Each structure stands twice: as C-alpha cells, then as structure tokens.
C-alpha cells in the first residue's frame, strides 16, 4: 500500500528568505509536501548555514531548517539570474520572502510585476514592521519585534530589566502567521475563484497579536501589565518551584478542583476545605501564603517524588525540561518527536519531529538541508534550460 499523499503535495513554493522567519515558514510547507525551491546567493548562501553549532563547517540548525527543500543559487543582481527567478515564479503558487521592504522593488520584482507575471501567485512578505507605515524601511529582527510587540516588557522579574526568551520566538511566530495567511489566500484562490494576493506579516504585529488582554485592559482601566517573574498575577497557584535536589518544576494548580486535589496530596486538607480558597479570587488574595507553602513542600523533596505526587493527584505539572530530559522522556518518544537522520558523512543524528500530527496525511522528512546550489541543474532543467545553457549561466555568474 502506497503512503498517503501529503496535504500540500502539488504546491510549488519559492523561498527568498534567510535566517529564521522566511525559512521556517517554507520549512513547514516542505514538511507537508510542498515542493520548496530555496533561492540563495551564490556567495555563501543563507547565513544560517554558519549559525550556532557547526558540524564539519555546516550548522546543525541548517540541516533541520532546510529539510525537504531544494537549494539553487541565483545572483539577483544579474539580469539572467532575475530571469531564472521569474521563470520559477511564473509557475509557483507561493513566494515567501523576508527582505527589507523595497529590496525586491529595486530589483524590478515588486508585487505589481510578479502579479502581472502570475496572477495566481500568493506572496508572503515577512518583515520587521510590515510593508507600510513610517518604519517600513527600517531593518527589524525578531528581538526588535518582541520588544515593540510587548513580549519583552512583561518577561522577567519586576526588580530587574526585561529578559529575552531562550529562542528567537518572534521570528518563529511571524513564520506561523505567514503560513496561516498563505493557506487562507490559497483557499480564497481555489474555493472562491480569487486571484493571488500579498500576505503582509510584520514581526512586531505577530507578537502583538499574542498579547492576550493587554489592549482592552489598558484602554478600559489604564492598566499596564508588568513583569512578575514566574507567577501568573491573578491566577493562583501557577508558578515554578525548586525541589530539594535543586531541580525545578512548574505547577499549575489554579483550577478549583485541581487546587483541592493538590492540597490533599500534600497533606493540607485544611486549605483544600477552606471556603475562601474555593475560587481563584480567594486564592489570589492569599497568593504569597500559598506560594510559601508550596515552596516549602517542593523544597523538602527530590524532583522525582514531587512529580510522582502530582501525577497521582492529577495536578498539571512539568519539570523544566532540558534537551537531555526530552531525549529520555516516554511522551516525546511515543509521539515520534525525534526523527533519525544522517549528516552528509553518514553520521546518524536526531532532528525534531513533525508538528502538527495529521491523522490521514501526515508530514514527514525526506532529506536534510541540502548543499548550496545542490539542485541547480535539476531545477533549471525542469524550467527548460539545457546543459549548455546552465553552464553558460554558471560561467556568467548568474548562478
């Protein structure tokens, strides 16, 4: 029996992206069956190839971020390089780009040109501040988007400066919005008989859209949410606690019935039965007292015993996982969150599994991130270029 077709099989995606936001968006498309052609500069390609931990000169991150993609090199400052790109885009469904606004226009590849070339093309544009507004021409990375969008302001402890999350979350969230927008645009095109359109994602807006009740709380009450460390203000108890062996655990016991189970599990029936602690408002009024009690309980036991107690009581909790914890965890393993792959020299390694899980048409990984320009001949051949023409493009510096 042949494996099921992936849900995006048949879609053609061209990526003009570097580093994180654009490439992550196209990676998702590639994992679910789209044919993704990543266009890179002949002069070194995507800088991500050299970011963080390198294996024989190539980033391990690269092998994940570019999996299932075809890499071609095009010099977009070269007339013939741009002509190749136009041929690619003439038959593409989606273009994903994260240049600074105006860069493609200066190359003669703005939306008006591309839409005339291919009226069904969906163009996903990821940038710091979007394609309009007074800041549109400014460079903006994920860290800037996280700062402007409100995330950094509320992250950290109240008596210290704001801190970053441990990953480039702004770029990745923007990528998710880009994919969502592209799929919406494709539905409009295919179901409503519409044409292609621009999906304009600003990094700061991608974060701003996640900021929960920030806008109405400020507008109605003038309330500005501040940094509160590990606790959730107004939602009690939910915090991180340190166990006797120095390891940490997140406990979320803020549901009414959950709180009662939790208190009984740690021998505090008096708190489980206290009328004023029966709802969240009452618990939040005694927040410091409750956190002190939980701190002392967790601090008296090793992590494994704390986990076992909470598991038996059905209290939502998790140790603060490191990569080492994940590799040994049965939940990660049961859901195939580590895929076996091989580096170019044959060395086996693990890469993260596919998210989300689709029951009928799951995504998958066919190959890891390719060498720079690995698919030049293959892709250009599909576009109708002969072996001699490809050699001429290479000699002229177009590819």
Q: Annotated catalytic sites, by residue?
A: 171
In DSSP notation, 288-301 reads HHHHHHHHHHHHTS
Structure-token match 């062996």, residue found: 245
Q: 140 is written with which tokens? A: 């903006």
H helix intervals, the chain: 21-31, 60-65, 79-90, 103-106, 111-117, 142-148, 169-191, 203-208, 214-221, 256-265, 269-272, 280-285, 287-299, 303-312, 323-327, 330-334, 376-382, 387-396
Q: Strand order in 69-73's β-sheet?
A: 69-73, 35-40, 12-16, 94-97, 122-127, 198-202
Give the 3-state secondary structure of residue 252. Answer: strand
- Cα→Cα distances 74→49, 82, 95, 154, 355, Å: 17, 8, 15, 42, 31
Residue 67 phi/psi, 5° resolution? -65, 145
133 torsion bin: left (phi>0), alpha (psi -120 to 50), beta (else): left
Q: Closest Cα partner for 383 from 399, 367, 365?
A: 399
Question: Do residues 246 and 298 lie in contact, with contact meaning Cβ atoms separated by under 8 Å?
Answer: no
Counting DSSP H helices and E strands in the chain, the numbers are: 18, 13
Q: Closest Cα partner for 95 from 66, 131, 124, 119?
A: 124
Give the 3-state secondary structure of residue 379. Answer: helix
**The dihedral sign for the CA sequence 107, 110, 115, 116:** negative
Question: Do residues 114 and 123 lie in contact, with contact meaning Cβ atoms separated by under 8 Å?
Answer: yes
Give me the residues paired with residue 255 across strands: none
Q: 306 is written with which tokens? A: 């704390």
């Amino acid at each position: 029996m042949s494996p099921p077709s992936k849900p995006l099989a048949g879609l053609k995606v061209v990526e003009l992206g570097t580093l994180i936001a654009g490439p992550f968006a196209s990676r998702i498309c590639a994992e679910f069956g789209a044919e993704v052609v990543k266009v890179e500069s002949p002069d070194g390609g995507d800088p991500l190839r050299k970011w963080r931990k390198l294996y024989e000169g190539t980033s391990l991150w690269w092998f994940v971020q570019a999996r299932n993609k075809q890499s071609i090199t095009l010099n977009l400052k070269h007339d013939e390089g741009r002509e190749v790109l136009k041929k690619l885009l003439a038959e593409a469904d989606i273009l994903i780009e994260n240049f600074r606004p105006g860069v493609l226009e200066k190359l003669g590849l703005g939306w008006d040109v591309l839409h005339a070339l291919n009226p069904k093309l969906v163009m996903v544009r990821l940038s710091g501040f979007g394609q309009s507004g007074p800041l549109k021409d400014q460079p903006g990375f994920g860290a800037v988007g996280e700062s402007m969008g409100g995330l950094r302001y509320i992250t950290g402890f109240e008596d210290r400066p704001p801190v970053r999350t441990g990953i480039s979350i702004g770029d990745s969230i923007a990528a998710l919005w880009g994919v969502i927008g592209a799929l919406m645009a494709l539905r409009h095109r295919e179901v409503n008989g519409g044409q292609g359109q621009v999906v304009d994602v600003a990094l700061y807006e991608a974060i701003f859209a996640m900021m929960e009740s920030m806008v109405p709380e400020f507008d109605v009450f003038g309330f500005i949410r501040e940094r509160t460390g590990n606790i959730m203000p107004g939602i009690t108890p939910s915090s991180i606690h340190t166990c006797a062996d120095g390891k940490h655990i997140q406990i979320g016991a803020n549901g009414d019935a959950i709180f009662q189970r939790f208190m009984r599990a740690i021998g505090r029936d008096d708190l489980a039965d206290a009328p004023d602690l029966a709802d969240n408002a009452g618990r939040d009024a005694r927040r410091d007292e409750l956190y002190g009690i939980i701190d002392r309980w967790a601090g008296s036991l090793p992590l494994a015993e704390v986990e076992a107690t909470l598991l038996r009581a059905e209290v939502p909790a998790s140790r603060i996982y490191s990569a080492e914890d994940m590799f040994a965890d049965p939940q990660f393993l049961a859901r195939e969150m580590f895929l076996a792959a091989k580096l170019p020299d044959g060395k086996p390694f693990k890469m993260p599994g596919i998210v989300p899980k689709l029951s009928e048409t799951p995504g998958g990984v066919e190959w890891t991130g390719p060498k720079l320009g690995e698919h030049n001949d293959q892709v250009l051949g599909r576009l109708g270029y002969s072996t001699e023409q490809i050699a001429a493009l290479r000699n002229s510096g177009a590819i």
